[in-house]
Copies of this chain bind each other. A is one copy, B any other.
Amino acid sequence: MKKEENFSEWYNDLVEQAGLTDKRYPVKGMNVWPAYGWKVMRHIDTFIRQELDATNHDEVCFPLLIPETEFKKEKDHIKGFDAEVYWVTHAGLNELDVRLLLRPTSETAMYPMFSIWVRSHGDLPLKIYQLVNTFRYETKQTRAFIRVREIHFFESHTCHEDEADAQRQVEEDFVILEALMKRLALPYLLLRRTEWDKFPGAHYTVGIDTYMPSGRSLQLGSIHHYRENFSRPFDIKYEDVDGTQKYVHQTTFGMSERLLGAVVGVHGDDKGLVLPPDIAPVQVVIIPIIAKGNLEEITQNTRDLANELKAAGIRVQVDEGDERPGAKYYKWELKGVPLRLELGGRDIANGVVSYARRDTGEKGTVLRKSVGEDVEALLLKISQDMRARAQQRMDSSITTIDSLDDLPEKWLRFGWCGTEECGKKIEETADIKILGSPYVKEEFHGKCLGCGKETDTVVYAARAM
């Protein structure tokens, strides 16, 4: 498996070999989550819940099926999804009067209820989220975690008194996002999507994009400000302090199992996965190094070591299998375990434990007596280093260009006058996608690559993964 030579093949092989997914289910684009992959995803979910709970979002769970009649209430929305949804038309032996669709996202499932729940300003802000399966009928080539037809997904939905309070929610979402991305050791850009690329029905959309080593961009999720675009058709109104009826302003924030796809693609190497410690099902694997006559001593010592680490809250596993140490290294490297500890006769004699970092391969020893603290510190360091390296790779891949000739397979940065005409011309000419302008404005002065006019607006573009 060579990541540099053929990223796509490397990725497709690795996700199955490491036990993250099983693509042999008899429906294309719908994959099985085997135990190991599901454990990683559930760790990601735990952090999502932690951040959303801490910011006073309530977890709820809405039905999967949405009546066609509700789905059609917001016109841009249905247009955006018309070609992508699965339709339930029959139940048992009957044809349904109203067709039901499998949620591609839950605006049209939730908002009829919001219209009942929201009565007065005292009910606002309303902040809820759910972690569910969603469905999109992808016609392009599918790819595990990145382009699938059943998608593991979280979505938060909020209602606010006015545009400014909704805007405050968008800013809070950025804080939540940063906390999550730190756990995953992933760098990202916040790019405000073009008008023709924003979410169907949104006032504006901020895309959360990361850079894949293939040179492509990967959208990890998005944050939308809806203004009153959904509250009007769904009649979500509240009585203000002065007694007037007002439409709420809404936002949403959603991310999917693509987070796991990004972790695989950004951090993995030719030996396999490299998992950030916070989401690794096994954070530390201990390999007993047995020599003649010391089996019992080493076994006892590795078990004691494991118990001590467990007590410190570390997810640890001892590999007592019959294979030689080399075969064990290979296996746990493939699985992406962040830290390997080894304990042999010499280590015990010297009062140390040997370690090898998965991310850098660096080897060393820590003192046996302070192993709990030292391992915790190492795991933190691994996480920080992984992110710093990924950030550096992303930053260095961003290439500012002033012509569309000889484009590198990288993230491109250039001037744009802001018109749809020029934007679409650039996209077509260069076969790229404009991801948008940085949400936090960047200092820039240059020329639009479409019409040549002077402009202060810079945009990022790339081929999408």
Task: Say if the beta carbon of A293 comes within 8 Å of chain B.
Answer: no
Nearest-Cβ distance from residue A372 to partner chain B, whole angstroms = 23
Binary flags per residue of A62-85, CB closer than 8 Å to B gives 1, else 0: 111101011000000000001111
Nearest-Cβ distance from residue A273 to partner chain B, whole angstroms = 18
Determine the chain B residues whose CB is within 8 A of the CB of A88 once the complex forms.
86-89, 102
Q: Are A63 and B24 in contact (CB under 8 A)?
A: no
- Interface of A, helix, strand, loop or mixed by DSSP: mixed
Task: Say if the beta carbon of A27 comes within 8 Å of chain B.
Answer: yes
Determine the chain B residues whose CB is within 8 A of the CB of A59 once the complex forms.
35, 38-39, 42
Q: Are B27 and A92 in contact (CB under 8 A)?
A: no
Nearest-Cβ distance from residue A347 to partner chain B, whole angstroms = 31
Task: Say if the beta carbon of A61 comes within 8 Å of chain B.
Answer: yes
Determine the chain B residues whose CB is within 8 A of the CB of A62 once the complex forms.
25, 32-33
Binary flags per residue of A38-52, CB closer than 8 Å to B gives 1, else 0: 110010000000000
Binary flags per residue of A106-132, CB closer than 8 Å to B gives 1, else 0: 000100110010000000000010000
Q: Are A27 and B84 in contact (CB under 8 A)?
A: no
Binary flags per residue of A263-295, CB closer than 8 Å to B gives 1, else 0: 000000000000000000000000000000000
Q: Are A150 and B24 in contact (CB under 8 A)?
A: no
Determine the chain B residues whose CB is within 8 A of the CB of A390 once the complex forms.
none
A84, B246: Cα distance in complex, Å: 43
Given A91-B137, A102-B88: A25 and B63 within 8 A (CB)? yes
Q: Are B30 and A63 in contact (CB under 8 A)?
A: yes
Given A24-B113, A26-B70, A116-B24: A150 and B84 within 8 A (CB)? no
Given A59-B35, A64-B133: A82 and B93 within 8 A (CB)? yes
- Minimum CB distance partner of A39 in chain B: B59
Q: Are A83 and B93 in contact (CB under 8 A)?
A: yes
Q: Are B100 and A91 in contact (CB under 8 A)?
A: no
A84, B92: Cα distance in complex, Å: 5
Task: Say if the beta carbon of A376 comes within 8 Å of chain B.
Answer: no
Task: Say if the beta carbon of A239 comes within 8 Å of chain B.
Answer: no
A58, B22: Cα distance in complex, Å: 15
Task: Say if the beta carbon of A31 comes within 8 Å of chain B.
Answer: yes
Determine the chain B residues whose CB is within 8 A of the CB of A116 once the complex forms.
24
* Contact size range, A: 35 or more
Task: Say if the beta carbon of A34 comes within 8 Å of chain B.
Answer: yes
Determine the chain B residues whose CB is within 8 A of the CB of A85 once the complex forms.
91-92
Binary flags per residue of A6-25, CB closer than 8 Å to B gives 1, else 0: 00000000000000001011
Q: Which of A22, A92, A109 has the most CB of B within 10 A?
A: A92
- Interface residue from B32, B86, B89 paired with A61 (Cβ < 8 Å): B32
Determine the chain B residues whose CB is within 8 A of the CB of A113 once the complex forms.
22, 24-25, 32
Q: Are B87 and A26 in contact (CB under 8 A)?
A: no
Determine the chain B residues whose CB is within 8 A of the CB of A30 once the complex forms.
63-65
Task: Say if the beta carbon of A60 comes within 8 Å of chain B.
Answer: yes
- Interface residue from B35, B58, B69, B91 paired with A58 (Cβ < 8 Å): B35
Determine the chain B residues whose CB is within 8 A of the CB of A32 once the complex forms.
60-63, 113
Contact sample, A vs B, 29 pairs, CB 8 Å cutoff: A22-B113, A24-B113, A24-B116, A25-B62, A25-B112, A26-B70, A27-B63, A27-B65, A30-B65, A31-B63, A32-B61, A32-B62, A32-B113, A33-B60, A33-B61, A34-B58, A34-B60, A35-B58, A35-B128, A38-B59, A61-B152, A64-B135, A65-B86, A83-B93, A84-B92, A85-B91, A85-B92, A87-B91, A88-B102
Report, nearest first, the 5 A-B pairs whose CB atoms are least far apart: A35-B58, A30-B63, A33-B61, A91-B137, A87-B90
